[in-house]
Amino acid sequence: MQHVKEVSKFNFEDVPVDPFWNVGNEVEMKIHRIHAYPAKFPAFITTKALEYAHKNKKEINSIADIFCGCGTTAFEARRNNIQYWGCDINPVATLIAKVKSKTFNEERLNDYFKKITNYCQQGDFLDEYDTATERLKYWYSRDQYNKLLKLKNGIEEITPRKSLYRDFFICAFSNILKSTSRWLTKSIKPQVDPKKEPNDVLISFKKQFLFMVMANNEVLKKSSGHAESKIITGSFLDKETRKPKVDMIITSPPYVTSYEYADLHQLSTLWLDITDDFRSLREGTIGSLYHDYNFNKEWSKLNDTGLKIVSLLLDQHKSKAKNVAKYFLDMQKVAQNSYNMLNNAGMAFFVIGNTEYKGVRIDNAKHLSESLYLSGFERVLTTKRKISNKILTPYRDETGKFSTDSSGRKVYSEEFIIIGIK
């Protein structure tokens, strides 16, 4: 760990990679793979953060993840018998997180599964394709849509309303939506694969169910934690979101140039009746311009690092400059809210990466470090980790796939651990 004493003079690119933060000491449990999720937080980061805290004689009884995503930290906190609070603005993410943070009775799961599949196999399929939203028609054939609709109706008919067991099966349903659609496999952008043969609905559902049962049973065997977990759907920056005091925050904020998660989760949000227009979920997300924001009035509130980066973008890329400025302004509020949320001597761990836009380096690590100091944190420390040893190509092509073509958008294969100590 390096102490970031003077942010303006500190060169984050000179920070060496620390092997301590690269890999965990054990194979990641199956529970972390029950639902696909972009840029998923490595499970071992929470364990490493707790180990680091204990080495520094910090007692950790409560943890928060303010961008909890699919609940990786939620599960790891429960596994270590530590009280947990998490929030995320994405309702698909919090659905997954709630399922991952609970355990289920296998006999009851099997009973529900049998009844659901019997429901789907009895009687004719009602043809309701013509009443479907145009966006769902874009992704599904008539036959696939009607089969999925009957499966969803079966889950809602068989499982108790507002129960954890309904959440379990809805989560399973959600994770087969892409494989049973025309969505291009492994693409980070929503696009149709005209050559794809979508998977069979019931076969996919059975495979998903069996995997989730195995994951649940593995948790029952390896984890005895019973600490309370609370997960809410909402924005960390919303003043109406009630935030408890905690000893530690462990989180990974969204990247400034990342694709909108609302777009990536559109199948689930549409099928689960979360919204009729998935684009509405962009509102309130960190750095989003889909809410009230006066650039000319607000950008002067940026800290020194933010001002320098946005100024470089303004001449040639004004629209991107506005987006980056909004992201930095939101992250400055995140830093302040995090400080307010921590108990005395508490620690905030942020996993964050740098990127660039058309030659302009977006130094998220430096901006966050300055934000933490300005929010009142006594010390800010940093180290670096490799994101993955599989990322050997530092560019993405126009479809979002990794590429060696230097004309593409450059991405970074490393990210920083920024620690603020109150």
Distances (CA, A) of 256 to 87, 141, 328, 355: 19, 35, 8, 8
Work out the percent of the chain whose per-residue pLDDT is above 90. Answer: 66
Q: Provide DSSP, 20-73.
A: GGT--SSPPPGGGGSS--TTPPPTHHHHHHHHHHHHTT----EEEETT-TTSHH
pLDDT, greater one: 118 or 278: 118
- In the three-class reduction of DSSP (H, G, I as helix; E, B as strand; rest coil), residue 252 is classed as coil
Does residue 166 register a pLDDT over 90? Answer: yes
For the ranges 110-119, 233-242, 324-333, 347-356, the maximum mean pLDDT occurs at 110-119
Instruction: Write down the mean pLDDT value for the chain.
Output: 88
- Domains (ranges, CATH) in the chain? 2-93+229-259+283-421 (3.40.50.150), 106-221 (no CATH)
Local confidence band at 66 (pLDDT 50, 70, 90 cut-offs): very high
Range 323-344 average pLDDT: 94
Does residue 315 register a pLDDT over 90? Answer: no
Does residue 402 register a pLDDT over 60? Answer: no
pLDDT in tens, 340-388: 999 999 999 999 988 887 788 889 999 999 999 999 999 999 999 987 6
Does residue 198 register a pLDDT over 60? Answer: yes
pLDDT of residue 392: 37
Does residue 124 register a pLDDT over 60? Answer: yes
The secondary structure of residue 278, as a DSSP letter, is G
pLDDT of residue 360: 86
Q: State the residue for tokens 């992704």.
A: 139
Taking a C-beta distance cutoff of 8 angstroms, is the pair 313, 321 a contact?
A: yes
Does residue 335 register a pLDDT over 50? Answer: yes
Does residue 258 register a pLDDT over 80? Answer: no
The secondary structure of residue 275, as a DSSP letter, is -
pLDDT of residue 223: 72
pTM score, whole prediction: 0.89
Least confident interval from 2-11, 226-235, 278-287 = 278-287
Taking a C-beta distance cutoff of 8 angstroms, is the pair 342, 246 a contact?
A: yes
Q: Cα(250)–Cα(37) distance, rounded to whole angstroms?
A: 18
Distance of CA 261 to the CA centre of its chain: 8
Local confidence band at 408 (pLDDT 50, 70, 90 cut-offs): very low
pLDDT, greater one: 285 or 363: 363
Local confidence band at 320 (pLDDT 50, 70, 90 cut-offs): confident
Q: Which of 173, 156, 34 is nearest to 98 (CA)?
A: 34
Amino acid at 264: L
Does residue 261 register a pLDDT over 70? Answer: no
Local confidence band at 227 (pLDDT 50, 70, 90 cut-offs): confident
Range 53-72 average pLDDT: 95
pLDDT of residue 63: 97
Local confidence band at 106 (pLDDT 50, 70, 90 cut-offs): very high
C-alpha dihedral, 236 to 240 to 243 to 249, nearest 10°: 10
Local confidence band at 399 (pLDDT 50, 70, 90 cut-offs): very low
Q: Cα(66)–Cα(335) distance, rounded to whole angstroms?
A: 11
Q: What's the token pair of residue 12?
A: 């984050």
Does residue 182 register a pLDDT over 80? Answer: yes
Q: Which of 183, 184, 175 is nearest to 204 (CA)?
A: 175
Q: Is the dihedral of CA 291, 293, 295, 299 positive or negative?
A: negative
**Residue 98 neighbours by CB under 8 Å, 6+ apart:** 71, 164, 167, 231
Work out the percent of the chain whose per-residue pLDDT is above 70. Answer: 87
pLDDT, greater one: 405 or 71: 71
Taking a C-beta distance cutoff of 8 angstroms, is the pair 416, 15 a contact?
A: yes
Does residue 256 register a pLDDT over 90? Answer: no
Q: Cα(330)–Cα(302) distance, rounded to whole angstroms?
A: 10
pLDDT of residue 279: 61
Q: Which of 365, 330, 331, 337 is nearest to 246 (CA)?
A: 337
Local confidence band at 260 (pLDDT 50, 70, 90 cut-offs): low
Does residue 276 register a pLDDT over 90? Answer: no
Q: State the residue for tokens 């019997």.
A: 118
pLDDT of residue 265: 85
Does residue 114 register a pLDDT over 90? Answer: yes
Range 185-190 average pLDDT: 75
pLDDT, greater one: 401 or 145: 145
Local confidence band at 288 (pLDDT 50, 70, 90 cut-offs): low
pLDDT, greater one: 241 or 379: 379
Range 289-316 average pLDDT: 84
Q: Is the dihedral of CA 379, 326, 386, 39 positive or negative?
A: positive
Local confidence band at 290 (pLDDT 50, 70, 90 cut-offs): low
